[in-house]
Amino acid sequence: MFWKKHKQAKKAKLVRIHASEHGITPSQICDKTKDVLRRLNKAGHEAYLVGGAVRDLMLNKQPKDFDIATSAKPEEVRRLFSSCRLIGRRFRLAHIYYGRFYLEVATFRGPHDNSGKQGLTSEDGRIIHDNVYGTVEEDAQRRDFTINALFYDLASGEVLDFVGGVKDIRTGTLRLIGDPEQRYREDPVRMLRAIRFASKLDLNIEKSTQKPIQGMVELLDNIAPARLFDESLKLFHSGQAADTLDKLREYNLFSSLFPVTEEGLHDETFHAFVKSALNNTDKRIRSGLSVTPAFLFSVMLWRAVKHHADHALAQGYPMMQAFNIGASIVLKEQVRHTAVPRRFTTMSREIWSLQSRFTHKDCRRAKSFLGHPRFRAAYDFHCLRASVNDGVTTEDCQWWTDFQKQDEEGKLEMCRPFKGKRRKKKKKKKPNS
């Protein structure tokens, strides 16, 4: 039904964009990608650089990945490349490995319907099986946004455009291919991708593309939490996290990923805390520094964890145990929406529970704390709290900043005001003889 409606609505005409117009040169494409393209062409198959790589190169950005689309079936690709592995159930893909690095090669997709086992959709229209092969033009029509449906031909140097993607890149427009409501039903994650591309690439979402979103948010409830975790990282680790948060909330999408965070953002201090953290994350990414998902989740879930920890403290639990109780309650709820791997939840737990150790400034405990493997992450989190007056003063953050820079004598001098009196050891009474 989608394919018939879409085909009637838009009979795309192929536009070939010459190298002098699009500006992409072979030197911008990694050698391994060029080798795969040439070998596929030599074997008699069509093969093109496709999607985000073409888009990014036209926008003068460095592509993260170089994906390839080809007329060759997955099994044919595997016969050509000894290091090839086939993956995927919903849609079969070929991964060609070069050590730990691999290139993804996908066969052109064709019109999708429920007429055979190779293409199946659920009752709500979501694609659950998609091994339907077609031509390069049909593949372009099956892609999500026009800016992601461009094909670069290494042999001719031309960009093939079936859907007006080049025009949309030039006008800064994000537009879905086909009927927006149907395309969102096929894959609800496209709503999140629309926000990500709009923020990351500074694009305006075209009216018919944005109109259905708010009324279709509930479709994300049927998406696997593991997939939503991956999408969350792409959204908030793209270098435009602060703007992404605003856009997600504008379209009511954020609560599908972080419901307890959305509940807390009405609090001005917590809202400032989250925005400050996201701005810092953006700066780190733009500077080429590493970021960890654990810190992102530590920030997003902090208010809820602290609320439950305070309740446990009021019941008489020790500080460390109270934070572990709070963390368990909140993480149990969060993984129902985004399946955070244990290696990250473990680090988040440590960041939260270590906040209480910043109150101890006697030398023995302060120096011991500096050696903790999670000290730096906990310290960054502590100073982030100080920047918005979240129960921590800027003077307290500064003390720990200065303490790290001191030599041994300087550390002793800084600790002197906090040196407690030693308890006198009680003499053991001699037993009566």
* DSSP letters for 362-392: SHHHHHHHHTSTTHHHHHHHHHHHHHTTSS-
Mean predicted confidence (pLDDT) in 160-173: 96
- Note whether 115 and 253 are same-domain residues: no
| pLDDT-wise least confident of 50-54, 61-65, 120-124, 191-195 | 120-124
| C-alpha distances out from residue 139 to 146, 149, 206, Å | 12, 8, 22
Among 154, 172, 190, residue at a domain's last position: 172
Given pLDDT bands bounded at 50, 70 and 90, which one contains residue 419?
confident
Q: Answer yes or no: is 237 within a domain.
A: yes
**Rounded distance between C-alpha atoms, residue 341 and residue 335, angstroms:** 9
Q: Which two tokens stand for residue 87?
A: 């993956």
Q: Residue 365 is encoded by which pair of tokens?
A: 């405990």
Let me know if residue 315 belongs to a domain: yes
- If you average pLDDT over residues 60-65, what whole number do you get? 91
Q: How far apart are CA 386 and CA 391, in angstroms?
A: 7
State percent of the chain over pLDDT 90.
84
Across the chain, which distance is largest between two alpha carbons, in Å? 108
- Return the active site residues: 65, 67, 144
| pLDDT at position 135 over 50 | yes
Mean pLDDT on 21-38:
95
pLDDT of 2: 39
The answer to whether residue 181 is domain-embedded is: no
Which amino acid does the sequence have at 150? L
- Both 152 and 249 in one domain: the answer is no
Comparison of pLDDT for 179 and 425, the residue scoring more: 179
pLDDT tops 80 at residue 214 = yes
Contact 221/258 with Cβ under 8 angstroms?
Answer: no
Q: Among residues 136, 131, 134, which one has the least CA distance to residue 116?
A: 131
d(C-alpha 217, C-alpha 183), whole Å: 13
Read off the pTM.
0.86
**Percentage of the chain exceeding pLDDT 70:** 89
Query: What CA–CA distance (Å, rounded) separates 81 from 74?
Result: 11
pLDDT at 431: 57
Domain of 100: which CATH number? 3.30.460.10
Domain count, the chain: 2
Mean pLDDT (the chain) is: 90
Q: Is the pLDDT of residue 330 over 60?
A: yes
- Show the tokens assigned to 309: 């920890």
Per-residue pLDDT, 89: 74
Structure tokens at 263: 């509940």
Mean pLDDT check: name the lowest of 115-124, 125-134, 339-348.
Answer: 115-124
Residue 332 forms part of a structural domain: yes
Residue 274 has pLDDT above 80, yes or no: yes
Backbone angles phi, psi at 119, to 5 degrees: -140, 115
Is the per-residue pLDDT at 124 higher than 80? no
Q: Is residue 428 part of a domain?
A: no
- Mean pLDDT of the region 121-134: 62
Whether residue 398 sits in one domain with residue 302: yes
* Mean pLDDT across 319-326: 92
Same domain, 164 and 228: no
* Res. 169: pLDDT tops 70: yes
CA pair distance 216, 117, nearest whole angstrom = 28
> Does residue 206 lie in a domain region?
no
Distance CA 64, CA 166 (A): 20
* Residue 126 exposed, middle or buried by CB count within 10 Å (0-12, 13-18, 19+): middle
Q: How far is CA 129 from CA 94, 115, 125, in A?
A: 16, 12, 12
For 42-51, what is the mean pLDDT? 97
User: What pLDDT was estimated at residue 233?
Assistant: 97
Q: Containing domain of residue 372, as a range?
A: 224-418
Is the pLDDT assigned to residue 428 strictly greater than 70?
A: no
Q: How many residues does the chain have?
A: 433
Mean pLDDT of 34-58: 97
The verdict on 297 and 390 lying in the same domain is yes
If you search the block for the tokens 């500006």, which residue do you land on?
23
- Do 297 and 368 fall into the same domain? yes
**Domain-terminating residue out of 153, 172, 191:** 172
pLDDT beyond 60 at 396 = yes
Element housing 400 (H / E) = helix 394-405
Give me the CATH number covering residue 272.
Answer: 1.10.3090.10
pLDDT at residue 108, rounded to an integer? 96
Is pLDDT at 369 greater than 70 in this prediction?
yes
Inside any domain, residue 189 = no
